[in-house]
Amino acid sequence: MWTGLLFAAEPPGYGEGRASENGTGRFYLGREIAPVMGHQGADWLERPEREREERTSEMIRLLDLKAGEVVADIGSGTGYITRQLARAVGPEGKVHAVEIQPEMLELMQMRLRREGIDNVVSTLGTIADPKLPESSLDLVVMVDVYHEFSHPFEMLGSIARALKPGGRVVFVEFKGENPWVPILPLHKMTEAQVKKEAAVHPDLEWVTTHRKLPWQHVVVFKRKRVPTI
């Protein structure tokens, strides 16, 4: 789970408050941080209707990946997205699949072996550090996971440092602007909130937002200079 670590002095933006129903009572820049879906919910990630509901193949296309690129999937879960990324970058590319639940990594590795995919590196990260090599990645993608980070400031800072200059970080989040998207409110984010939280990091610059997916927006930033935080 992306919870459980206390820092001696947290950066501005964090706060504690009254928890909403099924909430955490922990806030960042006005947003209540969502609880984490544990490995017990792994079947939901692999549900047969996911492609129809989320159009994940279209999301991968929007990432405009190139053969041979080095990318990371943060909160990779069972590897549903990881496997698509691995095929997109090809055998000369590499995917870092980052999780903090060992059970999820085990499920992912089983599926990778079954499908013969061998260009994925499994990484057991922490709630504040994805353990990625600095200045090494062409792209980092977070699919329906950033809103669950208990320490989003620290995580996004670490991700920024892992990007190559010009490398991209992509937030794929359920549309908080749309009440008809059938996801619990705490597990959605508005585009404005995503931009607000990314703006804390001067190394990141908004590039574009893709709004074509039925349930999610795809908000793209790039690293514009050497990270300072």
Tokens 């590319």 label which residue?
93
Q: Is the pLDDT assigned to residue 2 strictly greater than 80? A: no
- The pLDDT-based confidence of 85 (bands split at 50, 70, 90) is very high
Contact predicate 174/216, CB 8 Å: yes
| Residue of 144, 135, 141 lying closest to 65 (CA atoms) | 141
User: In the predicted model, what is the mean pLDDT of residues 10-38?
Assistant: 92
Query: Over the stretch 96-150, which tens digit does the pLDDT of each residue have?
Result: 999 999 999 999 999 999 999 999 999 999 999 999 999 999 999 999 999 999 9
Residue 98: is it exposed, middle or buried by C-beta count within 10 angstroms (0-12/13-18/19+)?
Answer: buried
Q: Is 0.85 surpassed by the pTM of this model?
A: yes
